[in-house]
Amino acid sequence: MHEVLLLKCGELVLKGLNRRRFEDKLIKTVKDRFKKLGEFDIWYMQSTIYVEPIGDQDMKAALDAAVKIFGITSVSKAIACPKDIAEIQKTAAEYLADRLNRTTTFKVDAKRADKRFPLTSPQIGVEVGGYLAEAFPHLQAKMNDPEVTVMVEIRDKAAYISCERFKGAGGMPVGSNGRAMLLLSGGIDSPVAGHMMAKRGLELGAVHYYSYPYTSKEALDKVLHLADLLTDYCGKITVSTVPFTEIQLEIQKNCMEDYFTIIMRRFMMRIAQRVAEMQNCGALITGESLGQVASQTMEAMTCTQAVCTMPVFRPAVGLDKEEIVERARAIGTFETSSLPFEDCCTVFTPKHPQTKPKLEKVEEQERKLDVEGLIERALAGVHRTTLG
Ligand code: ATP
Ligand code: MG
């Protein structure tokens, strides 16, 4: 007897002609994720990805990894057994003994995908249900809302018995909708934004601006750690770290104080777009949320958006801080995001930032700067780290 995982694929079932491409992406992702965990045999059949351990493997770690993969709607732990009703009955009683001893009501849901199997789905239900009721006399069959639902699936290779199903990550397979560049700060919002867009099938690259010596090595390590946490969901991420001190000092020296932040943010967007183009990304992603701070008003967004030709995805734009925090906790980035290291934005924050900046005014201020030269020097200092 050995345990396997059954990963059910979700939205991609609906994708018509693209279906094949989606499936290929998903299977490749699953294989990549499990490579790190040990040896597994992985194959796809009838909208299900089978993950079977070769020898002894850590199935808890396998389950943890499986529920983080976008494109999977549910994950069941199951036992495989020969397609013979007596074997199925015996295996179900043995495999589920622990769980059935701790419950009072149950039912059996049977599904016969392999139509060559001699019993119909309802007949399988009756046979297995009757056997279990006899083997565990304290059990009561209950069709509506039982404590335990025993699943029996007759498929091509074997019969699978399970009673534990876990919610999958949902969404679409990473990469199935292309690549995008995440502006990743050390804060709470941007990792959440990256996670949300990866869920919609985007493969991520990340760009981070740091202002050494005003920001520390620890602040940079924190960002790399955040990116690493995201790789559990998003797969490989290359983080491009961009030296930003010269740009910030030049803005501080030449521009009106209340426009510092907005001008700085425009540099971030311009550079992110260049890095994105070099890495085949079709969009930018930020963790902005409407009205959260001065640089996230509609007027401020108009000014930052103006330097971008790519779409800018801001999935957190309609979320409250509390909702973002809740998501950060759920995906496991909150703790790291909360470490108290300074970000380059906070180091040069003006006392009274403009909440309604005017684009003409911003452009007038920027004419005092060698915008192209600053961008080129920053790009020349980019350092890449690939995680995951
Ligand atoms: P976060 O929690 O993501 O840091 P925030 O609430 O602190 O967001 P801002 O500092 O205004 O908001 O930043 C808005 C967005 O700009 C961030 O979500 C992120 O996408 C991007 N950003 C800010 N600072 C940096 C940085 N140092 N490097 C890369 N991107 C950044
Ligand atoms: Mg921030």
C-alpha 39/C-alpha 37 separation (Å) is 7
Q: Looking at the structure, do residues 13 and 93 belong to the same domain, yes or no?
A: yes
Q: Is 341 part of any domain?
A: yes
pLDDT digits (tens, 9 = 90+) for 10-27: 755 555 667 888 888 999
Distance in Å, CA 286 to ligand 1 centroid: 7
For residues 144 and 13, membership in a common domain is answered with yes
- The DSSP annotation for 159-223 comes to EEEEEEEEE---SB-TTTT-EEEEE--SSSHHHHHHHHHHHBT-EEEEEEEE-TTTS-HHHHHHH
Confidence band, pLDDT 50/70/90 cuts, at residue 55: very high
- In 3D space, the residue among 2, 69, 61 whose CA is nearest the CA of residue 32 turns out to be 69
- pLDDT reading at 248 higher than 70: yes
Atom of ligand 1 nearest to the CA of 191: 3
Residues 232 and 93 placed together within one structural domain of the fold:
no
Query: At residue 357, what is the residue type?
Result: P
| Residue 173: inside a domain | no
Q: How far apart are CA 323 and CA 360, in angstroms?
A: 35
Q: 244 with 319, same domain?
A: yes
Question: Does the residue 297 lie in any domain?
Answer: yes
CATH number of the structural domain spanning residue 321:
3.40.50.620
Same domain, 150 and 101: yes
pLDDT of residue 12: 54
Q: Are residues 224 and 274 in the same domain?
A: yes
Report the C-alpha gap between 44 and 33 in whole angstroms.
15
Taking the CA of 193 as reference, the closest ligand is 1
CB-count exposure of residue 45 (10 Å: 0-12, 13-18, 19+):
exposed
Q: For residue 329, how far is its CA from the centre of ligand 1 (angstroms)?
A: 18
Give the residue, by CA position, lying nearest to ligand 1 atom 30. 183
- How far, in Å, from the CA of 267 to the mean position of ligand 1? 13
The structural domain count of the chain equals 2
197 and 134 belong to one structural domain: no
Q: How confident is the model at residue 47 (pLDDT cuts 50, 70, 90)?
A: confident
Pair (141, 217) in one structural domain = no
* CA neighbor of 103 nearest in space, from 163, 59, 144, 161: 163
Whether 137 maps to a domain, the answer reads yes
Q: Is residue 174 part of a domain?
A: no
Is 172 contained in some domain? Answer: no
Q: Return d(Cα 49, Cα 266) in angstroms, integer.
A: 44
**Domain containing residue 67: CATH number:** 3.30.2130.30
| 188 Cα–ligand 2 center, Å | 7
CA–CA separation, 301 vs 294, rounded Å?
10
The residue from 138, 167, 196 where one domain ends is 167
Q: What pLDDT, on a 0 to 100 scale, did the predictor assign at position 15? A: 57
Mean pLDDT computed over every residue of the chain = 94
Domain identity same for 187 and 234: yes
Which pLDDT tens digit goes with each residue over 359-374? 999 999 999 999 999 9
Smallest-distance ligand from the CA of 291:
1
Same domain, 96 and 245: no
Residue 13's domain comprises: 3-167
The torsion region of residue 81 among left (phi > 0), alpha (psi -120 to 50) and beta comes to: beta
* Segment 183-191 mean pLDDT: 97
pTM of the model: 0.92
pLDDT tens digit string along 279-329?
999 999 999 999 988 889 999 999 999 999 999 999 999 999 999 999 999
Domain boundary among 135, 167, 199: 167
Contacts of 236 (CB under 8 A, 6+ apart): 386, 387, 388
Ligand 1 interacting residues, C-beta cut-off 6 A: 183-185, 187-190, 207-209, 268, 286-288, 292-293, 295-296, 343-345
Residue 127 pLDDT = 97
Please report the atom of ligand 1 found closest to the CA of residue 316. 18
